[in-house]
Amino acid sequence: MSNEIELIKDPGLPEHKLRQSDIDPKAADRAERQVAILFGLSALGTVLFIYSYLFISTDLFVFIPLMGEQNVHQLLLGLGFAAALLFIGLGAVHWAKTLMPDHEVIAYRHELRSPDIDREEFVTTAKEGAAAAGLGRRSLIKRSLGLSLGLVGLSPILLLGDLGPLPGNALRTTSWKAGTRLVTDPGDRPIRPEDLEVGAVAQTLPELAPGKDHHSLNDIAKDAVLLIRLRPEEFNLDAERLSWTYQGIIAFSKICSHMGCAVALYEQTTKHLLCPCHQSTFDVTRAAKVIFGPSARPLPQLAITVDAEGFLIAQAPFNEPVGPSFWERSA
């Protein structure tokens, strides 16, 4: 036995096997009929599609077992369309598989790499071109061209300058001011403390400024506030934060301090607020301290009290920006 390692050899392409339709003309005819039936089904699908589009009313519903009450127009239009397309495809593939020649063909790969001589010629041509243009010698041209190209590239960026205004103070301000009434969302009705039982919540917005007839989405995105009433003794707050509550009513920004979803899943039993987007959980009794989830900050608390007429108002604007964090937030 020689010491050389002898590998198992490639037996080569296996012998071609004839199909039923290659041997038996009857099988070939059968295959042809099958293909024709498939194409025919497609045509029927188109007919169903046209019929549904033109003649089936869009408000006809019918009960279909396992599927429930379905809109006939939508369902038949779709099924017709699906059949029209699907059966063309199935027919074509069946045709290719049964009737078209299925001899495997061998093609040879060419080397992707260019021959050395071509490579060399390319390098020479490129070098000659560069030399003819004087790129190497005339450095003044090279440098000034580089400068102008670089500068001209700046202009599109500059042109995008009016995409938006600069942030300015916008992220730090809301519509809440000292004395702004809290009104229901929707409904815009002012709220008295006695309107809320213990365990009650209310979705609120600041009262509309004079001359405005509705809240813009930009305002809601910063102003939305959730009111919750607890028993005052349930709070676990420092003196300042306690003074921001009124008879057990506490107000938080509804805009999540994580990514800005509306946090309003209040669990009366646990006094927890949950954000449905990323499941940050806030403890209402401890000024919305984060007790679970990705948020790193409590929800901003709005200091509230009542005005002379007994309606709930803000004592002061929010003392921190509401909503998600940003780079300059704590600056």
- Cα(first)–Cα(last) distance of the chain, in Å? 82
Per CB under 8 A, 181 contacts another protein: no
Per CB under 8 A, 199 contacts another protein: yes
> Sign of dihedral through CA atoms 208, 212, 214, 216?
negative
Shortest gap between Cβ of 247 and another protein (angstroms)?
A: 14
Per CB under 8 A, 171 contacts another protein: yes
Shortest gap between Cβ of 256 and another protein (angstroms)?
A: 9
Per CB under 8 A, 310 contacts another protein: no
Shortest gap between Cβ of 234 and another protein (angstroms)?
A: 14
Rounded to 10 deg, the angle between the 25-55 and 72-98 helix axes is: 160
Exposure b/e, 176-192, CB count within 10 A at least 16 = b: beeebbbbebeebebbe
> What residues between 107 and 146 interact with another protein by CB under 8 A?
107-109, 112
- DSSP helix/strand/coil, 139: helix
Of 99 and 142, the one with the shorter C-beta distance to another protein is: 99
> What residues between 42 and 61 interact with another protein by CB under 8 A?
53, 58-59, 61
> What residues between 257 and 286 interact with another protein by CB under 8 A?
258-262, 264-270, 272, 274, 276-281
- Binding residues for another protein, total number by CB under 8 A: 130
Select from 40, 146, 187, 310 the one that contacts another protein (CB under 8 A).
Answer: 187
SS (H, E, C) 15-45: CCCCCHHHHCHHHHHHHHHHHHHHHHHHHHH
Residue 128: Cβ within 10 Å count: 10
Select from 251, 255, 303, 313 the one that contacts another protein (CB under 8 A).
Answer: 255
CA distance 220 to 214: 10
